[in-house]
Amino acid sequence: MARNDRGRENASGAPAIILVRPQLGENIGTAARAMLNFGLADLRLVRPRDGWPNVKAVSAAAGATPVLDAVRLFDTTAEAVADLHHVLATTARPRDMLKPVVEPRRAAADMRRWWAAGEPSGVLFGRERTGLDNDDVALADAVVTVPINPAYASLNLAQAVLLIGYEWLQAASGDTPAETLPEGRTRPATHGEIENFFGHLERELDACGFLRNKPKRPGMVRNIRNLFLRAGLMEQEVQTLHGIVAELSKGRGAPADDADGKD
């Protein structure tokens, strides 16, 4: 395939590609190859099944060693996205979650806009056989779905990464100026800061008994997380939410207000 000078674009600030529990080293290598073709270099692996480094990944990468040499390993998806302001999840299956759904072209335009604003982003890709778990998707701000044949929605891992990379590079010609925040607003919260708030909130909800229904707890937690993720929280807003939860927890044990007529 002919080379294109646009592929030499500086990858600094480009979105991270996060492979969650990938199964085969060959697929990691071909994903790295797809990334480098489109100027992407930040590859993050969450608990690859066959460990890392992987000789088969190097062979399949066909020279994309700069990407493989810079791979970062993580134990959890939450850790892999902690420094990112925006996270997208790729999935072909409908999910029982209220999240924005975008196509790759819109996702790429959004990521370009976030890049211009200095807000790093990343895209989650799941296991080859089963894709992303619900808990992984719950960490994302939006879902990316490729409009393909609904009777056979079966892209392999490298193909999915290539689609995102292609749209990322094509969107370069449509860069928009960084958005100016209204006076008094701070930067968008990172996913690490939001995850820290979720931990605080869930501890208090456990303590007060709100999450006492064990079978329903995972779904309830995901719904609560999705609610806050859709809000696009700023860093100062997350701090305010911490303060609200802390103040509410201080009142635990106080006499209940019986204004509703209940005992």
Tell me if 255 is assigned to some domain: no
161 plus 210 within the same structural domain = no
List CB contacts of 35: < 8 A, sequence separation 6 or more: 17, 41, 43, 64, 67, 161, 165
pLDDT tens sequence across 104-138 = 999 999 999 999 999 999 999 999 888 899 999 99
Q: What is the pLDDT of residues 88-109, one digit of tens each?
A: 999 876 567 788 899 999 999 9
Residue 174's pLDDT is what? 58
Q: What are phi and psi of 174, to 5 degrees?
A: -110, 25
pLDDT in the model for residue 230: 83
Q: List all residues 6 or more positions away from 194 whose beta carbon is below 8 Å from its beta carbon.
A: 228, 229, 233, 238
Number of domains in the chain: 2
CATH assignment at residue 21: 3.40.1280.10
Together in a domain, 69 and 198: no
Closest alpha carbon to 188 in 178, 176, 202: 178
Query: Looking at the structure, do residues 118 and 223 belong to the same domain, yes or no?
Result: no
Instruction: For residues 127 and 214, state if they share a domain.
Output: no
Q: Is residue 179 part of a domain?
A: no
Parent domain of 242: 191-250
Q: How confident is the model at residue 261 (pLDDT cuts 50, 70, 90)?
A: very low
pLDDT digits (tens, 9 = 90+) for 197-245: 888 999 999 999 999 999 999 888 988 888 888 888 888 888 888 888 8
Q: For the chain, how many helices (H) and strands (E)?
A: 10, 7
3-class SS of residue 2: coil
Q: What is the pLDDT of residues 63-80, one digit of tens each?
A: 999 999 999 999 999 999
Could you tell me if residue 256 is inside a domain? no
Q: What is the per-residue pLDDT across 30-59, written as a single tens digit (0 to 9) for each?
A: 999 999 999 999 999 999 999 999 999 999
